Amino acid sequence: MLRESAYINGEKNGIEKTYYRNGNLSSQANYENGKRVGITKTYYSNGNLLSEREYKKDEIGTKYYNEKGEIGLEVIFIVSIKFLSWV
């Protein structure tokens, strides 16, 4: 698998792409300051869309597609992190 990434000050910034051995795109993601932002797409080896994942502040929404390009599943994850302090 081949990966193209851009780094600024040691952190991923910009579009990262990975490719299958056959040359087809495997995934495409956008990074800002080392964190994924926006929409990440993954693909089947035949080039059809496998998933779309949207990264927002407190949630991650994902759509999964079958090999015909039809939506098979849609999931929204709510990200909640709490910090505790013990005295």
Single pTM value for the model: 0.77
Give me the chain's average pLDDT, please: 87
Concatenate the DSSP letters of all residues of the chain into one string: -EEE--EETTEE-EEEEEE-TTS-EEEEEEEETTEEEEEEEEE-TTS-EEEEEEE-SSEEEEEEE-TTS-EEEEEEEEP--------
pLDDT, one tens digit per residue, over 46-72 is 999 999 999 887 778 889 998 888 888
What the chain holds in terms of domains, given with CATH numbers, is 2-78 (3.90.930.1)
